[in-house]
Amino acid sequence: MSDHAAAVEITRLVKKFGDFTAVGGINLSIKQGEIFGILGPNGAGKTTTINMILGLLTPTSGTILINGMEMRRHGANVKSLLGLMTQETVVEGDLTARQNLRIFADLYHVPKDEVDSRIELALQEADLVDFADKQAGTFSGGMQRRLELVKSMIQQPKILVLDEPTTGLDVQNRSGMWTRIKELNRNGVTVILTTQYLEEADVLCDRIAIIDHGSIKAIGTPTELKRIVGKGRILELIAEDPAKAPAIAALLKSHFRLAAEVKGDRITTVIEENRIDILTSITGALDRKKLDVASVSLHLPTLDDVFIKLTGAGMRDTASNDAVSARSNIFRGMSGRR
């Protein structure tokens, strides 16, 4: 083991299920101490990837080093470094919160004289002290997720892997989870999380890999990723009549030399910071050509724009009934392979 090694170093990792390639040769280097996000839609290969990191699934090919060590050769050493919070909540409903934690402490061979104090600490961290002796099955979704989180920390892992830690949580519980994850990270834990939520990746992660159909589309800090879209601001026009959207894009190109993308009634283009004042000229020109727009808006690039740029698809194609705002949730249902 080396202090200088990456927390996780993934090289040409492939996982096939029969003929189907779930993970198609990815390379990733996750640094010690960072919060690293694997962002992608349903079926992108997120869970498959982290299950291989954790040694729960054998790669078809490729290598994974954890702190410079290979799982195959250093299984026990590596496993003791890793904590996992699974995508599905797996607390034992008929056991109390305290009993759930005790089972995990035993499973991970927490030293006997530390078990009680670690459980007390975990209950405090999860804000479940008053519910410690109540059956976990009676807990709300948010409480169960908090119990899951501290359960995955009971053996004090150096690297914590969280598979969609906030999917299905309401806004309040979600931001509470973010605070807890940041706190763990401040205390020195490297965090790897998967998410379908753009906002979550943006707010929480130091770096993000955008993954789709088993391959990585881009890796970088949120700021770096947003630069892929371009420097400046995104101008978004919604055409009154969708049939006229291509004509609006054509006008932007011919009159203002702006390359615009059309998706349904929506036309987007990037306007450089020093050209923002052309906005009034644009609306004037559209007016003269009787190309009516229902709305005009200007915003700094978001990860949403990045995903659209990288994959040509966006959230407005899908309806979202999730508790999370539609804007932060372009991925739900996009991939359609499930």
Ligand X SMILES: Nc1ncnc2c1ncn2[C@@H]1O[C@H](COP(=O)(O)OP(=O)(O)OP(=O)(O)O)[C@@H](O)[C@H]1O
The residues binding Mg ion (CB under 5 A) are 46-47, 87
Q: Which of residues 48-67 bind ligand X (CB under 6 A)?
A: 48
Sole window of 43-51, 198-206, 263-271, 296-304 interacting with ligand X (rule: CB under 6 A)? 43-51
Sole window of 44-52, 59-67, 124-132, 231-239 interacting with ligand X (rule: CB under 6 A)? 44-52
Q: Which is nearer to Mg ion, 47 or 329 (CB)?
A: 47
Helix axes 97-107, 112-125, angle to 10 degrees: 140
56 CB-near residues (< 8 Å, 6+ apart): none
**Shortest gap between Cβ of 276 and ligand X (angstroms)?**
37
Q: Which does 337 bind (CB under 5 to 8 A by kind): ligand X, Mg ion, none?
A: ligand X
Q: Which is nearer to Mg ion, 87 or 89 (CB)?
A: 87
**Shortest gap between Cβ of 333 and ligand X (angstroms)?**
10
Q: Does 190 bind ligand X (CB under 6 A)?
A: no
Q: Are 219 and 207 in contact (CB under 8 A)?
A: yes
**Shortest gap between Cβ of 163 and Mg ion (angstroms)?**
6
Q: Which does 17 bind (CB under 5 to 8 A by kind): Mg ion, ligand X, none?
A: ligand X
**Shortest gap between Cβ of 32 and Mg ion (angstroms)?**
25
**Shortest gap between Cβ of 20 and ligand X (angstroms)?**
6
Q: Does 154 bind ligand X (CB under 6 A)?
A: no
**Shortest gap between Cβ of 335 and Mg ion (angstroms)?**
11
Figure out which of the listed residues 73, 109, 290, 338 binds ligand X, where binding follows CB under 6 A: 338
**Shortest gap between Cβ of 174 and ligand X (angstroms)?**
16
**Shortest gap between Cβ of 15 and ligand X (angstroms)?**
8
Nearest by Cα to 264 from 317, 222, 308: 317
Distance CA 281, CA 286 (A): 9
Q: Which does 43 bind (CB under 5 to 8 A by kind): ligand X, Mg ion, none?
A: ligand X
Q: Which is nearer to ligand X, 17 or 138 (CB)?
A: 17
**Shortest gap between Cβ of 303 and Mg ion (angstroms)?**
19
Figure out which of the listed residues 39, 44, 143, 308 binds ligand X, where binding follows CB under 6 A: 44
Figure out which of the listed residues 11, 29, 80, 87 binds ligand X, where binding follows CB under 6 A: 87
Q: Does 73 bind ligand X (CB under 6 A)?
A: no
> Residue 14: what residue type?
V
Q: Which is nearer to ligand X, 17 or 224 (CB)?
A: 17
Q: Which is nearer to ligand X, 13 or 278 (CB)?
A: 13
Q: Which does 22 bind (CB under 5 to 8 A by kind): ligand X, Mg ion, none?
A: ligand X
3-state secondary structure the chain: CCCCCCCEEEEEEEEEECCEEEEEEEEEEECCCCEEEEECCCCCCHHHHHHHHCCCCCCCEEEEEECCEEHHHHHHHHHHHEEEECCCCCCCCCCEHHHHHHHHHHHCCCCHHHHHHHHHHHHHHCCCHHHCCCEHHHCCHHHHHHHHHHHHCCCCCCEEEEECCCCCCCHHHHHHHHHHHHHHHHCCCEEEEEECCHHHHHHHCCEEEEEECCEEEEEECHHHHHHHHCCCEEEEEEECCHHHHHHHHHHHHHHHCCCEEEECCEEEEEECHHHCCHHHHHHHHHHHCCCCEEEEEEECCCHHHHHHHHHCCCHHHCCCCCCCCHHHCCCCCCCCCC
Q: Does 25 bind ligand X (CB under 6 A)?
A: no
Between the alpha carbon of residue 229 and those of residues 201, 285, 308, the distances in Å are 17, 25, 9
Which residues are near ligand X by CB under 6 A?
17, 20, 22, 40, 42-48, 87, 196, 337-338
